[in-house]
């Protein structure tokens, strides 16, 4: 299938392909191949055969009738590909010759995808049988939405939200990420408090469903990021095209988490800080960058001192290295920044989540004032 381009966002003309899909859904429900557009689920893995053996069967058991599963292997030497080939011969295996890490590994795999929609799914995510249907229905019925995410819960304790995505992501005014259900390391119990579907600022890369045409138009994940924060950058660029991101609570998945880099890893600290700074630089207008960056340096400086006081010198100096690398890398991204004359797409939360959490004592997403959000956190349905 040739890549489909979108020539105008939702404020202009709508992609006729999407209109055709909606008409087909309404008029020809007896033909699943038409009413259920093809979805390509891309699962990237590296030396994680036990995790794949644990989680992949749930994806294969999905009830969605029109699914293409692609396993992209980053040059594993643990027999993952052989096991998948013998156990699930219908799964397409993409064997990378080297470890391409998360961004490039997924992008190369998407080159082989033929679905109308792409799902980037971590190899350590278990899904429920009917997880795909609500995601596809939302995108099919609302062409102004570019990407959606399911509710992410912990694999080990399924009553708790998961760190990587919760019920959908936001950024504060200085670029710090948080989710519905998780502020910093405070994970909430899921009692249905975030079952209303809302507009998000970012969807978790652990389970991200996006229109393939838009993924290709945006050039996929930014491979300079390697891994971490890349989905926030992708979702920000998606909004700059005029599309929105939404949560779909009717879809639930369960994430083991920490499979790539564990919490407390200096490498993870380095990538998180570096890529977060680069995300701000790439997507803020120059004037907004100049307003926000000095305050961000101050806050990160406090974070650096906190890590030193906690006797975590390797993590602390990873913050300094991140700033040095980001400064060097900014030059390659200058041409991708929005123009001064463009409308600013700012993070939804207009306050500092750092101050709200550590000074004001807000421990739950629901503690945050609704008035501080530029987009409503109330149900859109």
Q: At residue 2, does pLDDT exceed 50? A: no
Domain boundaries of the chain, sorted by first residue: 16-255, 266-341
Q: Residue 83: is it exposed, middle or buried by C-beta count within 10 angstroms (0-12/13-18/19+)?
A: middle
Task: Average the pLDDT over each of 16-20, 63-67, 69-73, 88-92 and give the range with the smallest value.
Answer: 16-20
- Position 318 scores a pLDDT of 96
What share of residues in the chain are helix, strand, coil (percent, to 5)? 40, 20, 40
SS3 195: coil
Question: Is beta strand 182-183 parallel, antiparallel or unpaired with respect to 186-187?
Answer: antiparallel
CATH second-level architecture of 16-255?
A: Alpha-Beta Complex (3.90)
- Position 257 scores a pLDDT of 80
- Position 381 scores a pLDDT of 63
CA distances from 54 to 77, 155, 166, 244 (A): 18, 11, 21, 33
CA distances from 111 to 45, 75, 122, 183 (A): 16, 17, 18, 35
Tell me the HSE value of 269 on the side-chain side, using a 13 A CA sphere.
18
Tell me the HSE value of 34 on the side-chain side, using a 13 A CA sphere.
12
DSSP 344: P
Enter the tokens of residue 334: 């200058």
The string of DSSP codes covering 291-309 is HHHHHHHHHHHHHHHHHHH
pTM: 0.89
CA distances from 14 to 145, 339, 369 (A): 12, 25, 35
SS3 190: coil
Q: At residue 21, does pLDDT exceed 80? A: no
Q: How many residues does the chain have?
A: 381
Residue 262 pLDDT class (50, 70, 90 cuts)? low
Q: Where are the beta strands (DSSP E) in the chain?
A: 39-45, 67-73, 92-95, 117-122, 125-127, 145-154, 169-171, 177-179, 182-183, 186-187, 199-200, 207-211, 244-255
What is the rounded CA–CA span in Å between residue 215 and residue 244? Answer: 14
pLDDT tens for 133-148 read: 999 999 999 999 999 9
Task: Average the pLDDT over each of 5-19, 270-284, 360-374 and give the range with the smallest value.
Answer: 5-19
Q: Which helix (H) or strand (E) segment is 191 a member of?
A: none
CA distances from 210 to 77, 105, 203, 205, 321 (A): 31, 17, 10, 10, 33
What is the rounded CA–CA span in Å between residue 248 and residue 142? Answer: 13
CA distances from 335 to 5, 64, 108, 267, 329 (A): 22, 41, 24, 28, 12
pLDDT tens for 167-199 read: 999 999 999 999 999 999 899 999 999 999 999
Question: Is beta strand 177-179 parallel, antiparallel or unpaired with respect to 169-171?
Answer: antiparallel
Who's near 92: CB < 8 A, 6+ residues apart? 68, 69, 70, 71, 112
Structure-model confidence comparison of residues 76 and 1, the more confident one: 76
| Mean pLDDT within 216-222 | 97
3-state secondary structure 57-84: HHHHCCCCCCEEEEEEECCCCCCHHHHH
Interior/surface letters 43-55, b for 16+ CB within 10 angstroms, e for the rest:
bbbbbbbebbeeb
Who's near 229: CB < 8 A, 6+ residues apart? 177, 271, 272, 275, 276, 278, 279
Strand partners, 160: 189
Enter the tokens of residue 123: 């190899």
Residue closest to 60 by CA, chosen among 126, 139, 7: 126
What is the rounded CA–CA span in Å between residue 105 and residue 42? Answer: 10
């Amino acid at each position: 299938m040739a890549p489909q381009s979108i020539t105008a966002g939702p404020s202009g003309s709508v992609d006729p392909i999407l209109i055709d899909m909606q008409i087909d859904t309404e008029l020809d429900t007896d033909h699943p191949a038409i009413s259920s557009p093809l979805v390509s689920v891309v699962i990237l893995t590296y030396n994680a055969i036990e995790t794949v053996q644990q989680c992949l069967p749930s994806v294969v058991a999905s009830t969605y009738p029109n699914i293409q599963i692609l396993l992209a292997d980053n040059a594993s030497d643990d027999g993952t590909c052989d096991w998948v080939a013998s156990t699930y011969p219908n799964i397409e295996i993409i064997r990378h010759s080297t470890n391409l890490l998360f961004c490039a590994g997924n992008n190369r795999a998407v080159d082989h995808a033929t679905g109308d929609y792409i799902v980037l799914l971590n190899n350590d995510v278990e899904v429920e049988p009917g997880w795909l249907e609500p995601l596809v229905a939302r995108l099919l019925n609302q062409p102004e939405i570019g990407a959606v995410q399911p509710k992410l819960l912990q694999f080990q304790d399924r009553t708790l939200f998961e760190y990587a995505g919760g019920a959908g992501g936001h950024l504060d005014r200085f670029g710090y990420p948080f989710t519905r259900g998780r502020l910093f390391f405070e994970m909430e119990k899921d009692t249905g408090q975030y079952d209303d579907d809302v507009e998000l600022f970012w969807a978790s890369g652990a389970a991200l469903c996006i229109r393939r045409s838009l993924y290709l138009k945006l050039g996929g994940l930014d491979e300079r990021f390697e891994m971490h924060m890349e989905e926030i950058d992708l979702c920000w660029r998606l909004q700059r095209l005029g599309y929105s991101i939404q949560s779909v609570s009717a879809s639930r998945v369960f994430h083991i988490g920490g499979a790539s880099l564990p919490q407390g890893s200096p490498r993870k600290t380095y990538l998180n800080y570096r890529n977060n700074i680069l995300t701000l630089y790439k997507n803020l207008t120059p004037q907004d960058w100049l307003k926000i960056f000095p305050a961000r340096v101050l806050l990160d400086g406090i974070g650096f001192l906190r890590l030193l006081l906690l006797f975590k010198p390797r993590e602390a100096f990873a913050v300094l290295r991140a700033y040095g690398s980001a400064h060097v890398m900014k030059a390659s991204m200058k041409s991708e920044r929005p123009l001064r004359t463009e409308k600013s797409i700012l993070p939804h939360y207009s306050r500092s989540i750092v101050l709200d959490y550590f000074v004001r004592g807000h421990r739950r997403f629901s503690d945050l004032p609704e008035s501080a959000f530029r987009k409503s956190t109330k149900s859109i349905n």
